[in-house]
Structure formats: structure tokens, C-alpha cells
Structure 1
Amino acid sequence: MSYIFIIICFLYGLCAVYFAKKNDYTMLCFFLVAVLFQNIIVICFSNTVSSIWITIFSLVKEVMLYFAVFLYIFRRKKITGGKKTIILSLVLVIIFVENLIVTDTSFSASVISLRQCIIPFLGITIGKNLYIDDKKVIKLLKFIVHCSIFLAIFGLFELIILGDEFWIKLGYAQYMYVKQGTLSSQLFKGVTRNFYTWDFRNIPIRRIVSITADPLATAHLIFIGFAIIFSGCVNSFINKSFTKKNPNQYFVYMILLFMCSFLSLSKAIFVFMAITFAVIAYYKKIFPPKLVKYGAVIGGVLILLYILRGIQDMTVATATSNHVVGLINGFQHSSFLGKGLGTAGVMTAKIANNSITTAESYVGTYVQQIGYIGFAITLIYFINVYKQLLVNWKKYRNRYTILAIALFLGIIFEMFFSESSVSVMGTCIYFIFIGIATKDKIYK
């Protein structure tokens, strides 16, 4: 069986090289297919292969994206961007390298932290440099919707009929042990604890997981399909006449995806929904802009009150307090140049077997590792991306830009309070589409 898996890895790698050379929308389709089926394939072979091969298989899709960027720069033989952008980028690279070398943790932990830290930059860079036009964007968005529907349908089947017994029989416990050394006794009902949520009166409630075996990745991948249809990028109505519109199959898909997004039981997705509704309502003028603004302010105040309540509960280990404490600790325990990659975050702590003070907040773990200067440069980078989206909205008034703005604001907010908000499996495609939306070519 191990030889079969090695052959699969080899063929998978060849396909990745082929699509990296193409660097078009088919590469993203291949990337999404890899995201959907990667974990289920590895779980099936976890009894016969070593952790090294599992790591190699998991990294292929990511290496493909880096290779695509390298080939693009090599072919163009120049780096796009103004002098200020290039200088700031070089400073940020130096900070990353310095914190990769000067750190108190192991090299493997620091590399894993570096991998997560640069996912947003990788995704946006891929989107900006992708060979894609307006017609291919429509094909890509429809493909994403179909992937979301597949995840939703299989997720409902797994949640209602298969249950945890499916993963136990498949060898999930062995997979977790090979992947990160998790013992069977550390699992809950034979699966990892993130298959459940304890946010409702501390009672474990099962989430929708689907074929990815990653409930948070599934939640984000299902939600982006809903957001694509809801924003009008894929039309959910057909025109029977000039005055009447009838729902088509995409309207049914939208309802299904909304329901399954809710079944993810993720607070981040619930906030994402609210932000997406507000952004689309504002830019499409579904409601009066002033009403949307006031509603957003009220919603923001309610969220702030919820966060303040979490701060008051810091002595109690609640989910909210963990996220807030992680954010605050990140800034408190940082420095101008950072404490080193691998010194914060849940995953790196498991690999390095270290106790950590900063976790559950991507921004918190990020700023502790790369410092205040690196965080400030990153902030400037994201502000410039947002300005590009606003410029394209004023220029083209296109629904793609509305979707990108909604995804951008939602993911930025989520990054402050969730460490798992940024992942290759779940949200890399978000950053890629944000990068695509900054291109003038897709609006012609």
C-alpha cells in the first residue's frame, strides 16, 4: 500500500508542476480539488505510510502555488510595484528571515509558523499574477460554487447518517497520531475536539465536517459558495420578462449553502455572514446606505460588548476569553523586531512541545512572532490592497469587487480573533480571489 501512495504522490506532483506552469484558472480548480480530497486520501493510507510522506502529500498543492509565483517572476524578469512597495516588501522579508533564524523554538516549528504567516501574501500574489480574464472568472466562480455544494451535500450525509463511526472505521485516530502525535485517549468520541462545539451552554454539539475532515476549512469553503451566489456573481434568477424574475437552480443552492454554513456552528462564519450582508446591502443599495451604516455601527457595538464580556471572563477558560487573551498577549509579549517564528500559536506549540501564552488569535500570534515593525508594514500592505479594491469599485461598479470587499473585511476581522482563520485549506482561496479582484483585466 505504501508503494501505491508513493506513486500517487509522484503523479500528484507532476500534475502540480503542469498546472503551476499554466498559472490560470485551471490551476485553482486543481488546487480546490486537492483541498477537498487531500485529507480523506491521507486518512485511508495513514496505516501504511510514514509522517514524512503525509507531510509531502499535504504540501504539494501549496508548493504548486509558490512555484507558479516563481515561474511568473522568472518569465517577466521583473517585480511589479512601486519603489515604496518593493522597499517595504524587502524589509518585511528581512524581518521574516531574522525571526526564522533567531528564535527560541525548533526549526520545524518556526518553518510551520512562517508557512502560516505568509499565506495571505501568497494568496493575494497568486490572484494578482494569475492569467485570467472575465470569462474565466465566471467559470472559476461556478466551479467554486459546485465544490461548495458537494461539500454541503456530503457534509449533511456525514452529519446525519455516517457520524463519528465513519471516521473511526476509516482510521482517523491513526491519521492524527501519524500527523501530529495525538493519542487515541486525547480524542473525543474517536475524533478531534474541533468536530464539536462547546459554545452553547458547554454542551458538545456536532458540527458539519464533510469530506475535508476539517470542520473549519469546510465552513469557509461552503460559505464562499453562498457568498458568490448571494453577491450576484453567479445569478440565482432568470429573466422571464422585463418585469418578472424566476429563481433558478442557483437559488436552491444558495439556500442549501446558507443552511450548511449555519450548521458549521462557527462564530467566525456567523460574523462573516453579517459583514457580507452589510457590505452587499450597502454597495448594491438594497437598503438606504445610511440605514446600513447605522446598522453596522450598532452591530459593531454589540460585537464590542461581547468582546468586553470576554475580557471580563478572562479568569474563566471560555472560547471568547481565549480569543481575546490571545490577541492581547500577542501585543504584550512582542517587541519591535519580534520574538521569533514558532514562539506563538497552537499548532507550533504542539510540534515544539512548548507551553505558550499567545494562541487563538492570528493577529496576536503574528505580531508576537514578527514584531511591531513587521505588523505595521503588513497593515500598510492590506490597506493598499483595500484601496485597490475601492478604486476598481469606483471605476467598474462590478459585483466581483463587492464580493472581494466583503471577503476582505470579513477575513480581516476574523484574523483578530481566530488563529485558524488563515489556512491553505480554508481561506487561501479567499485571498486568491481578493488578489484577482484587484486586476483590471477581469472587468473588461
Structure 2
Amino acid sequence: MKIVEKDIKILYFSFVVMLVSILVAKLFHTAVFLEGIMVILLLVCSVNRNTHTVIYFVMCTVFQNVILVLMSSGISSRETTTIIILKESLVYICAIVFFLKNKIYDFKLQEVLCVIFVIVSIFNLVRAQSINLGVTALRQITIIVTCYYFGCSLKNVKLEKIFSFIVLISVIVGIIGIGLFFLNDEQWIQMGYADYWNNKTGAVTKYSFTNFYTYDLGVRLKRLVSTFVDPLACSHFIGIGFLVVFIADNKNSYILKILITIFLLMGITKSSVVLIVSTILILNYSKINLRYLRYLFLITCIIFGLVAINILSIKVSSLSQSTSISNHFNAFIYGLTNATLLGNGLGTTGYNALIMGLENYDSNYNESFFALSIAQIGIVGVITIYGFLFICIKHNYKLYRITNNKYILVILILSIDLFLESFFSASSISMLGTGLYCVLNGISYSFYKEEVRRCELEL
């Protein structure tokens, strides 16, 4: 893996833009400079849709929150929202263009599921008690498909270049994260965290440092939040770098592996555990050549999974209330037992509904993306989105078996991790955290189509 000089120049340019944006916001109390640059880059990236479009998306994903914190005292809530929307607009525009240009007459099962999912989502958007809450919920619940088709829309993508850049940024994120790790809550407030929180939420609730710490190991431990200002999103991103250096890096850079492992462990998140377990399972599964043994392996994993869920359901009542493990599991079970066919409407549950004081609010769904989805778009919507994810996994596996490409294996593991984690974690699906996972799945599918076409031509 190697970073070319052009990528380093992009990195330098990005840091200059960030620095100038912070200075302008401090001096003139406006984010107009950053907004202007983002509009220009949005147009350029929407037209080009190449490897550097992904690199731009990565830079926005990684540095969005820390820039908004540092700029927070000089910009408004509207400007904060605009900057976030400008980044997401790249995803929406590219996904819509690709879908209209390439899929309007070429519907496969994946597109059928996507259309049904969108119809059910719009149906539940109309039923939303608050249009603002409904649109916010729609943005989260459609991340999987929008980011996927954004990835499909990209042309002439070089996976090695993208993953090399991600590893480089993972190291930068980790080093900055260690520096920020030693800041106390008061110093974060001085940096602008309280103003950032007010800008992001519209000052509806008081700022909170809850996610900066965890009690899952029985004691209060600080987590690596880094530039994401969010340990979960940070852990998800570093997880990509972790997989690349351990699976796809042939140079055996032990120092790099040790560094990224330390960064990942400092996040102290359940997503890290799921990622490591997924890696072990898929590496073992990929080595099995006989079909009946693969089926046996899958059945064994399912049985162990069901047994583990049963044991956890028995033990969950005795878990300490200061940990979140029981909350995540209970949310998953609550979603299963309170499912409706078409859902109760977008924005009718979740933390945004809690923050905005929605009436008839049920917080029991909050800790599981599966539960949040089944509450809002029902059984039909959940079947379509999880069917969509399963097809992504299937395509990645087939492509890896054909090409033996280690980068495709990384994407396969990320897709399995996303699938499993979403059952028990609401934060497993986010534009900052796992949006890039879905983008990479879309890129992988483009390679899959090319490989299938090549095989057909050879026949």
C-alpha cells in the first residue's frame, strides 16, 4: 500500500481549508468560507465521481465534528446544519443520478427491495407526528441504501488507493485522539463543545459527555473520541484501518499494527468486539472448500448464536444497570415482541424524539437499530433492508471467492459486522460511523458486476 503525492496534496489542502475556516468563523462569526468551498467541491465531486470523491467524503466524515466544535462560538445552528447537509448532499445526489441512469430499466432483486423499502419509508414519513423528526429519522434509516448507491455511482475507483488513504487517516485520527484523550470535560467546553451541542440540537437539550465514557467493564473508563467527538463513530472508522493492516497489508508493518490496535481498543466499544469476531468467523469460513462443510459451519454458528442469545436473555436481568449491555439486548427483544406490519411512523421513537419531547414516546426501542427500524417502518420495511444487506454480503463473498482480493475480504467483513451489529446497536448505522462501510459495499458491487460480465464473455 502506498499514498501518492497527489493524495498528500489533498490532505494538505484540506488542513489549510480547515484552518482558514476556523479563523474566518472566529473573526467574522460566519461559516460562509467553509460553506462556499463545500458547495464547489460538491459540484466537482458530483460530476467526477471517482476515487478522489471517496477521499473527499472520508475527509468530511473524519473532520466534520471537530471543525464544528472549534468553529462553534462563531457560527449559528443553521450554518452547522448546512455544513452537515452539504456533506450528505454529495451522497444523495450521486445515488439519485446513478439510480436514474443505470437502474431505471435494470431492476434486480436488490433494487426491488430498495424500492419497497423507500415506499414503506415514505408511507411512514407521511404518518410522522412531526415532519422535522420524520425527515431526521429518514436520513438515518436510509443511510444503508443511499451510501450504497453512492458507492455504485463511482467510476474508475482504485481500492488500494482508498484503503491506503484510510489507513493514513486512521493513524492521524488515533494520534490526535490520544492528544484529546487527556482533555477533561471543562477543557472540551472551552474548546467549544457546549456551543457545538447547542448548534447541532438547536439548544433543545443541555450538552452531555455521556458517550465520552463507558461503564461496560464495571468501572468508569474514558474512551477515544478523537476528531469525531464520538467514540462509536471513531471506533467504526479505525476498524477499517485495523482490518486493512491485518488482512490486506503485505508489508507486515508491526508498528502500524500495534498502533491501530491500541487506537481501536482505546475506543472500548462493542463494535470492536463484533468486528474482531466477524473477522475470525469469515477467515475460517473462507478457508472451507467443501460446500457441505460450509453449511455445517454456518449452522454451527447460528446454533451458538441462538444459545448465546438465550443465555443472555436469562442473565440480562442480573446485569448491572450502569452498563449498556442489557439495554441493547432488551431493545432488540422489545422490537421483536412489539413489531407491527407497516410500522408506527418515522420519528416516533429514537433519541431525537426524546430530545424534542415527542408525545406518546416509547424509549424501549432506542438502543437497537433493528428495533428502531421495526418500530418506525414495520416488519415489511425491516425485511427489505436486512434482505438488502444480506445480498451485499452474498455478492462480496462471491467476488472474494472468484478474485481472492484481500480488499474485497475487508469489505466482506465490514458488511457482516454491519449486519450483526445493527441488531443490538442503534449507533451502528450512522453517516459518520458506518456510512463508509456502505459506500465500500457499493464500490464492491461495481467490481462484482464487472467480474460477472467478464465470466459471461469468456463462456
TM range (shorter): 0.7 to 0.9
Is 2:325 the counterpart of 1:304? no
- Check whether the contact 2:42–2:86 (CA below 8 A) recurs between aligned residues: yes
Distance 2:210 2:307 in 1: 28
- Check whether the contact 2:99–2:149 (CA below 8 A) recurs between aligned residues: no
Given the superposition, is the C-alpha separation of residues 130 and 376 from structure 1 closer, same or farther in structure 2, using an over 3 Å criterion?
A: same
CA displacement at 1:3 relative to structure 2: 5.3
CA displacement at 1:339 relative to structure 2: 0.4
Q: Give the match's secondary structure for 2:227.
A: coil
Aligned residues, how many?
419
Q: Which moved more, 1:363-372 or 1:171-180?
A: 171-180
Distance 1:432 1:348 in 2: 28
Distance 2:420 2:318 in 1: 21
Code of the aligned partner of 2:275: F
Residue in 1 that maps onto 2:7: none
Trace 1:209-358 onto structure 2 (pairs within 5 A). Answer: 209-232=225-248, 234-235=249-250, 237=251, 247=252, 250-283=253-286, 300=305, 303-304=308-309, 307-309=312-314, 311-313=316-318, 316=321, 318-354=323-359, 355-356=361-362, 357-358=364-365
- Check whether the contact 1:106–1:352 (CA below 8 A) recurs between aligned residues: no
Distance 2:333 2:94 in 1: 37
Residue in 2 that maps onto 1:111: 135
CA displacement at 1:109 relative to structure 2: 0.7
**Which whole-Å deviations, capped at 9, do the CAs of 1:386-436 have from their partners, x for residues lacking one?**
222232133222222322221111111110000000100011111111222
Is 2:78 the counterpart of 1:52? yes
Residue in 2 that maps onto 1:102: 127
CA displacement at 1:74 relative to structure 2: 5.0
Is 2:180 the counterpart of 1:158? yes
- Check whether the contact 1:314–1:322 (CA below 8 A) recurs between aligned residues: no
Q: Which moved more, 1:349-358 or 1:141-150?
A: 349-358
Is 2:117 the counterpart of 1:92? yes
Given the superposition, is the C-alpha separation of residues 215 and 315 from structure 1 closer, same or farther in structure 2, using an over 3 Å criterion?
A: closer
Given the superposition, is the C-alpha separation of residues 71 and 376 from structure 1 closer, same or farther in structure 2, using an over 3 Å criterion?
A: closer
- Check whether the contact 2:110–2:391 (CA below 8 A) recurs between aligned residues: no
Code of the aligned partner of 2:254: F
Distance 2:81 2:59 in 1: 18
- Check whether the contact 1:361–1:415 (CA below 8 A) recurs between aligned residues: yes
Code of the aligned partner of 1:29: I
**Which whole-Å deviations, capped at 9, do the CAs of 1:319-359 have from their partners, x for residues lacking one?**
12211221122233332111000012123321344542311
- Check whether the contact 2:392–2:415 (CA below 8 A) recurs between aligned residues: no
CA displacement at 1:16 relative to structure 2: 1.6
Residue in 2 that maps onto 1:242: none
Residue in 2 that maps onto 1:193: 210
TM-score between both structures, scaled by the size of structure 1: 0.86
Code of the aligned partner of 1:115: R
CA displacement at 1:110 relative to structure 2: 0.8
Trace 1:371-410 onto structure 2 (pairs within 5 A). Answer: 371-410=378-417
Is 2:454 the counterpart of 1:437? no
Distance 2:222 2:41 in 1: 36
- Check whether the contact 2:232–2:427 (CA below 8 A) recurs between aligned residues: yes
Q: Give the match's secondary structure for 1:199.
A: coil
Is 2:425 the counterpart of 1:421? no
Residue in 1 that maps onto 2:60: 34
Given the superposition, is the C-alpha separation of residues 164 and 31 from structure 1 closer, same or farther in structure 2, using an over 3 Å criterion?
A: same
CA displacement at 1:315 relative to structure 2: 10
Return 5+ residue gaps in structure 1 as ranges: 238-246
- Check whether the contact 2:147–2:436 (CA below 8 A) recurs between aligned residues: yes
Is 2:87 the counterpart of 1:66? no
Is 2:35 the counterpart of 1:13? no
Given the superposition, is the C-alpha separation of residues 295 and 155 from structure 1 closer, same or farther in structure 2, using an over 3 Å criterion?
A: farther
CA displacement at 1:377 relative to structure 2: 2.1
Given the superposition, is the C-alpha separation of residues 87 and 212 from structure 1 closer, same or farther in structure 2, using an over 3 Å criterion?
A: closer
Distance 2:419 2:147 in 1: 14
CA displacement at 1:317 relative to structure 2: 6.6
Distance 2:154 2:261 in 1: 29
Q: Which moved more, 1:416-425 or 1:253-262?
A: 253-262
Given the superposition, is the C-alpha separation of residues 299 and 155 from structure 1 closer, same or farther in structure 2, using an over 3 Å criterion?
A: farther
- Check whether the contact 2:373–2:381 (CA below 8 A) recurs between aligned residues: no
